[in-house]
Amino acid sequence: MSSLRVVPATAERLASLSSWFPTPEALVQWGGSGLRFPLDADQIGRMLAETTTEPPLRLAFVGLVEDEPAAHAQLVLDWTDGIARLARFAIAPGHRGHGLARPFLGEVFARLDDAGAFPRLELNVYTFNTPAIALYESLGFVREGVRRSSVKVGNARWDTAIYAIIRDR
Ligand SMILES: CC(C)(COP(=O)(O)OP(=O)(O)OC[C@H]1O[C@@H](n2cnc3c(N)ncnc32)[C@H](O)[C@@H]1OP(=O)(O)O)[C@@H](O)C(=O)NCCC(=O)NCCS
């Protein structure tokens, strides 16, 4: 695997992000139904604005491979209850299947530990997303339930699985 460098997300580093999600369905699979297709600089700007609040409501990272953005993930932080939610995680299409996902998330979770104590680490994933589910389960995430028919995408409705890890930190 080529060397991976994890850095904070910036508008410049996320300039190519929109091209990772070529259809409305791909955008919702990554970012949820609250986003408008196509992803644009305004929507990215609103996500990044939450990384500069005090304390930050969101952490956002980019994984660079040979200086090219190859991975992206965000962590939404609930400081009251010590809950971090992994959100908006993707490997760039041209870099998928190369074993980047686990080392990238390992770095992202290490940055979370640097930010504070978040004993509960959770995420939502659509139940059809077999690659993501296999990855999360391999990392120890436990399925807690399914919110059936919870998202409307065109004429379809998708089920959302809720996963979490309870961590000793
Ligand atoms: C899910 C995603 C991040 C996986 O990235 P990737 O680069 O393919 O993953 P890696 O090559 O690093 O593989 C890591 C693990 O993912 C799982 N995985 C990846 N592709 C898979 C596939 N086609 N089928 C089943 N499991 C798969 C496996 O557990 C794999 O580990 P293994 O190779 O030891 O079996 C990628 O498919 C993606 O970006 N999807 C679009 C965005 C998305 O759905 N994000 C998740 C939102 S919840």
Q: For the segment 69-128, what is each residue's pLDDT rounded down to a tens digit?
A: 999 999 999 999 999 999 999 999 999 999 999 999 999 999 999 999 999 999 999 999
Q: pTM, whole model, 2 decimals?
A: 0.97
The pLDDT of residue 1 is: 53
The pLDDT of residue 150 is: 98
The pLDDT of residue 142 is: 98
Question: By the 8 A CB rule, do 4 and 63 touch?
Answer: yes
Q: What are the residue boundaries of the structural domains of the chain, listed by start?
A: 4-121
The pLDDT of residue 168 is: 83
Alpha carbon of 20 to ligand 1 centroid (Å): 15
Atom of ligand 1 nearest to the CA of 130: 25
Q: Which helix (H) or strand (E) holds 144?
A: strand 142-153
The pLDDT of residue 41 is: 98
Edge to edge, the sheet with strand 83-91 lists: 4-8, 58-65, 68-78, 83-91, 120-126, 156-166, 142-153
Averaged pLDDT for residues 59-63: 98
The pLDDT of residue 75 is: 98
- We find that the CATH architecture of domain 4-121 is 3-Layer(aba) Sandwich (3.40)
Q: How confident is the model at residue 2 (pLDDT cuts 50, 70, 90)?
A: low
Averaged pLDDT for residues 135-161: 98
Question: By the 8 A CB rule, do 39 and 17 touch?
Answer: yes
Atom of ligand 1 nearest to the CA of 137: 29
Q: What is the pLDDT of residues 87-99, one digit of tens each?
A: 999 999 999 999 9
Question: By the 8 A CB rule, do 121 and 86 touch?
Answer: yes
Q: Which residues approach ligand 1 with their CB closer than 6 A?
A: 29-30, 89-91, 96-102, 125, 129-132, 134-135, 138
Mean pLDDT of the chain: 97
Give CA–CA dist 117/119, Å, rounded: 6
